[in-house]
Copies of this chain bind each other. A is one copy, B any other.
Amino acid sequence: MTRQLLHGNWIFPEAPDRIRLAEDGFLLAEDGVILSLTRERPEGCDGLAVEEFGDQLLIPPFIDLHLHAVQYMNRGLGLDMTLLDWLRTYTYPEESRFADPLYAEQVFDRVCHELWYYGSLRSVIFSSLHREATLILMRKLSEAGLCAYVGKVNMDRNNAPELRETTAESLANTLAWLDEAEKYAPGVQPIITPRFIPSCTPELLQALGELVRERQLPVQSHLNETPEEVDWVRELCPDCANYLEAYEKYGLLPQGRTIMAHCIYNLPDEEKLLKERRITIAHCPSSNMNLGSGIARVREYLEAGMSIGLGSDISGGETLCMQQVIRDTLKSSALLARKRRFELKPLSFRQIFYMATRGGDFFGSCGSFEPGMPLDFLAVDDRALRGPGQRTLEERLQQFMYLGSGAEITKRVLAGRELPEPLWQA
C-alpha cells in the first residue's frame, strides 16, 4: 500500500459549467487512487512526506478523443483543401507508408512524445489499416505509460489504390490484431475502427458488428463531418434513414462505448440515438475549420446532457497541442453564436475546460480530483505566461488554456505515477 500526499492549487471541473478551485489543498491518495482533497493536512498521515507544488496549477490531464496517428507527418499540409480532396492528395498516400514497420516506429515515437509533451495522457487513436503498424503504436504508447484506445482501421471499398484491403483480409487482420493486442491491456486497448461508412462494405460492417458483440469491444468512427459526405452515405445506404443508422444497423454502436467524431450535420433522430446510447461525440474544431467542414452545435449537445469531448484530429487538425483545440473550440463556438445572433450563447471557458479534461467520460471515472478517481494530473508552471501582477486561479487557468502549450507542464501523472519523457529521435 503506497500513500501519497500532495499540496498545491488543485483546479478541476465538477460539472460542465462548474469549476472547483482548491487553492492550497492537500490531496491524499493510496495506490494511485484519490482518497481526499482537503483544505487542511489530513489526519493520520503524520509520517508522510508532502510533495509540494507551491504556486503551480494542478489540473487533470487532457483527453484527446480523436486523432489519426498515421497522419502525424502531414500536420499543416494541404489545409486549404476540402475533406475528400485532401484525403486523396495527402492522407491516403501517407497512410500507405505504414506498411513499413521501420517508418511506423519512427513516426510513432514522435506521436507518443508529443502526446506526453502536450499532456494528452489519455487518447483514442486511429492507426492505419496495417496490423503490424497498429501493434507498434500500441507498444509505444504502452512503453510511454500513456493510456489509450487504438484502432486498426478497416476499409475495403472506395479507397485509394495504395490503401485498400479485401473484406477477408480486413477481417483476418482484425482478428489477428485483437489477439496480439491483448498484451497491452489494460493501459492500451483495442477499439473497432471502421474508417467511415463509405470505406466499408456491408459485409465488413456486419462482421465487425458481430465482433463488437461477441468480444464486448468499443467502436470509433466518423459521423456527419461534411454535407458532401452525408450525401455520399445517403447514396450508398438508400435503406438507412440517416448516417448513424448505417452504423446502428450492423450493431456498431455499443452502449456508452462508442465514439463518433465530428457530428456537425446530425439530424434530430440521430441526436436522439446518440443520447440514448450515450455515444461520445469527439468535437474536432481545428479540423472542422481547416477543411471548411462546418461548426458543431456543441453547447446544445452539452446542455442536452450528451457525452462530448475534444479531439485534435490530426492531420485535419494541424497539431496535437490541446490548447490549439481549446482555442478553436472557443472560436468556432463564438462564430456560431454570432450566426445565431447570440440567441445561442458561445461556450463558456468552464465548459471547454470540462470537455478537454473529462472527455465525455469515455474513459470512465477520471478527470476530476474526487475520491475514488485515479490520481491523474498535470503540474503547470505558468509564470512565463502571466508575468507580473496578481491573477485569480481561474484567470491563470484561462491564460494557460488559451496561451500555453506543453512548455509549462512540469509533471505528468497517471494513477499516481509520473510519466517520464519518452525517448524519440529528432
Residues of A within 8 A of B (CB): 73, 75-80, 82, 106-107, 110, 286, 289-295, 318-319, 324, 327-328, 330-332, 334-335, 337-338, 342, 346-349, 383-389, 395, 398-399, 401-403, 426
Contact = CB atoms under 8 A, between A and B. Distances in A.
A73 B290 contact: no
Given A292-B337, A292-B338, A346-B292, A402 B76 contact: yes
Contacts of A337: 292
Contacts of A106: 387-388
B290 A331 contact: yes
A402 B327 contact: no
A204 to B, nearest CB: 31
A319 to B, nearest CB: 6
Contacts of A335: 289, 292, 294-295, 332, 335
- Which 5 A-B pairs have CB atoms at the shortest separation, nearest pair first? A76-B402, A292-B334, A289-B331, A76-B399, A292-B338
A79 B402 contact: yes
Contacts of A342: 82, 292
Q: What's the number of copies of this chain in the assembled complex?
A: 2
Nearest to A350: B80
Contact of A75 (B289, B348, B399): B399
Contacts of A386: 73
A401 B334 contact: no
A203 to B, nearest CB: 34
Contact of A291 (B75, B77, B334, B349): B334
Given A318-B402, A383-B426, 18 more contacts: A73-B386, A73-B389, A75-B399, A75-B402, A75-B403, A76-B401, A76-B402, A77-B398, A82-B342, A106-B388, A107-B387, A289-B330, A291-B334, A292-B337, A294-B338, A318-B327, A328-B331, A332-B335
A80 B328 CA distance: 12
Contacts of A388: 106
A403 B292 contact: no
B348 A80 contact: yes
Query: What does DSSP make chain A's interface, helix, strand, loop or mixed?
Result: helix
Contacts of A80: 330, 334, 346-349
A281 to B, nearest CB: 19
A389 B102 CA distance: 13
Given A294-B335, A319-B403, A387 B73 contact: yes
A166 B75 CA distance: 52
Nearest to A347: B80
Contacts of A319: 403
Given A318-B403, A335-B335, A398 B79 contact: yes
Contact of A399 (B77, B82, B332, B402): B77
Q: Which of A75, A335, A348, A426 has the most CB of B within 10 A?
A: A335
B334 A290 contact: yes
A155 B325 CA distance: 37
A237 to B, nearest CB: 24
Contacts of A293: 338
A205 to B, nearest CB: 29
Contacts of A76: 385, 398-399, 401-403
A424 to B, nearest CB: 10
Contact of A79 (B332, B349, B385): B349
A67 to B, nearest CB: 15
Given A289-B332, A426-B383, A395 B77 contact: yes
Contacts of A349: 79-80
23 contacts: A73-B389, A75-B402, A76-B385, A76-B403, A77-B395, A77-B399, A79-B349, A79-B402, A80-B348, A106-B387, A110-B387, A289-B331, A290-B331, A292-B335, A292-B346, A293-B338, A295-B335, A318-B402, A324-B327, A328-B331, A335-B335, A383-B426, A387-B426
